[in-house]
């Protein structure tokens, strides 16, 4: 007998129902960029960053019930303009998937942008790995005029568009999946 993908929709609807029951409360998650910096290496600006990632109870429950979470790191480069709004020179995303494989009881982290994958025994280890960004290629140095001033920024968000349909509706109404950090800004050195 062939199984359909409908079990995910059923699971998502069950989660939605459970979360709407009175007395069910959520511990909120938090995403924060602790620090970020950039450096020039072989004609590329590379970014290193440290993040603080804490998933909400709902996000953890969804993850442990087979929902893959996509975490997106959003980067921007801006040219400073004296008498006008600063110009966005570049914007780039780094997409990372977090998945729990119940059969092997492992957490898998896939960096879709760099085509890398790692496996961890605990959620804590997986999130800790996600929290260390090293050598992310942001922009070619030749695209920036050395005579101009620039600033860079980044933030981290839980990409709700990648959630299954019923969970997208839950995220819209309840906000427990609305994890995003503030923009962290720095001047390239």
Domain count, the chain: 1
Per-residue pLDDT reduced to its tens digit, 77-135: 999 998 899 999 999 999 999 999 999 999 999 999 999 999 999 999 999 999 999 99
pLDDT at 165: 52
Residue 80's domain comprises: 11-17+28-186
Task: Band the pLDDT of 161: cuts 50, 70, 90.
Answer: low
Mean of pLDDT values over 152-179: 66
**pTM, two decimal places:** 0.77
The closest alpha carbon to 15, from 178, 123, 166, belongs to 166
Asked if residue 23 has pLDDT above 70, the reply is no
Is 118 within a domain?
A: yes
**Average pLDDT over all residues of the chain:** 83
DSSP string, 159-170: -GGGS-HHHHHH
Mean pLDDT for 144-154 is 95
pLDDT, residue 105, reads 93
Considering the domain boundaries, does residue 6 fall inside one? no
Confidence tier at 137 by pLDDT (50, 70, 90): very high
Contact 78, 99 (CB under 8 A): no
Q: Is residue 164 part of a domain?
A: yes
Q: For residue 31, which of 168, 150, 127, 133 has the smallest C-alpha distance?
A: 127
Does some domain include residue 52? yes
Q: Is residue 110 part of a domain?
A: yes
Q: Which long-range contacts (CB under 8 A, 24 or more apart) does 33-37 make?
A: 33/154, 33/155, 33/156, 33/181, 33/182, 33/184, 35/184, 36/133, 36/152, 36/154, 36/184, 36/186, 37/186, 37/189
- Evaluate whether residue 22 is within a structural domain: no
Higher pLDDT, 72 or 17: 72
What is the per-residue pLDDT across 42-69, written as a single tens digit (0 to 9) for each?
999 999 999 999 998 888 988 998 889 9
Residue 2 lies in a domain: no
Kindly indicate the confidence band of residue 172, based on its pLDDT and cuts at 50, 70 and 90: very low
Residue 57 resides in a domain: yes
């Amino acid at each position: 007998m062939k199984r359909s993908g409908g079990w995910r929709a059923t699971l998502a609807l069950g989660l939605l129902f459970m979360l709407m029951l009175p007395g069910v409360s959520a511990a909120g998650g938090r995403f924060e960029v602790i620090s970020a910096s950039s450096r020039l290496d072989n004609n590329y600006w590379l970014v290193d960053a440290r993040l603080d990632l804490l998933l909400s109870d709902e996000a953890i429950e969804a993850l442990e019930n087979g929902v893959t979470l996509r975490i997106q790191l959003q980067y921007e480069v801006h040219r400073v303009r004296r008498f006008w709004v600063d110009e966005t020179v570049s914007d780039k995303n780094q997409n990372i998937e977090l998945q729990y494989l119940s059969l092997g009881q492992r957490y898998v982290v896939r960096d879709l942008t760099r085509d890398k994958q790692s496996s961890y025994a605990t959620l804590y280890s997986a999130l800790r790995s996600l929290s260390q960004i090293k050598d992310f290629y942001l922009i070619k140095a030749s695209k920036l005029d050395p005579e101009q001033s620039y600033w860079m920024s980044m933030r981290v968000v839980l990409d709700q568009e990648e959630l299954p349909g019923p969970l997208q509706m839950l995220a819209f109404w309840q906000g427990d999946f609305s994890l995003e950090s503030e923009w962290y800004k720095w001047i390239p050195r």
